Amino acid sequence: MRTVTTISGRMILLLLVWWTLTEGDPSGIGFGLVIVILVTAISVRLFPPGTARIRPMPFCLFVLFFAGRSVTAGIDVARRLLSPSLPVSPGFLTFHLNLPEGGPRWLLANTLSLMPGTLSVSLDGARLDLHCLDTRDPIEADVRAVEQKVARVFGLSLEDSAARAGGKE
């Protein structure tokens, strides 16, 4: 049942993308349907319908949060660039993620790349290496906050994560 929902959800999404790409022109719909079915088949092969499913409401909140943070990120880097003293102190930080494998970790890594001061370098299992523009910033708290939000998008709870992260320091 869940697989059927996932597949039909993906097909509707792809049909919407096709409709957008053709700007609503109905003449290409036959070709579009073939493509949509092919792409859905490939997507099921590459990303099998898993346990982690995106919740719509938290996802919308996440998008808003993401948009706000990426504006901050752009302004932050621009401010550093334009100030004559170039206030950066780059360095690497390593985190152990509490998120499950697959979509959640991938979303976190890519989101962090567009957030203020962090850039995902390598994601190896639960180990995430980040490059930070300024290691004096409170990166740890930031990463954990984003991790919590990603968990909420997938409807997971990371209650033990705060305790574990706190215990490690």
Partner 1 sequence: MEITQLIQGFLLIAGCVFFAVGTLGLFRFPDTLTRIHALTKVDNLGLGLILLALLLGVPSLAVGMKVVLIWLVALAASATSAHLIARAVRSQDRGRSEGRESHD
Residue of the chain from 1, 4, 20, 163 that contacts partner 1 (CB under 8 A):
20
Helix (H) or strand (E) holding 81: helix 56-82
Does 133 sit near partner 1 (CB under 8 A)?
yes
To the nearest 10°, report the CA torsion of 139, 140, 142, 148. 160
Residue of the chain from 43, 70, 135, 148 that contacts partner 1 (CB under 8 A):
70
User: What backbone phi and psi angles, to 5 degrees, belong to 82?
Assistant: -85, -15
Residue of the chain from 1, 4, 23, 85 that contacts partner 1 (CB under 8 A):
23
Q: Which stretch binds partner 1 (CB under 8 A): 34-42, 77-85, 140-148, 154-162?
A: 77-85
Residue of the chain from 34, 38, 42, 71 that contacts partner 1 (CB under 8 A):
71
The one-letter amino acid code at 77 reads V
Least distance to partner 1, CB of residue 110, Å: 4
Nearest CA to 47 among 93, 19, 6? 6
Residue of the chain from 13, 37, 41, 75 that contacts partner 1 (CB under 8 A):
75
Instruction: Give the integer Cα–Cα distance in Å for 67 and 6.
Output: 26
Rg of the chain over Cα atoms, rounded to whole angstroms, equals 19
Least distance to partner 1, CB of residue 62, Å: 14
Instruction: Give the integer Cα–Cα distance in Å for 136 and 119.
Output: 15
Instruction: List residues near partner 1 by CB under 8 A.
Output: 16-17, 19-24, 67, 70-71, 73-78, 81-82, 86, 88, 90, 109-111, 113-114, 116-117, 119-123, 129, 131, 133
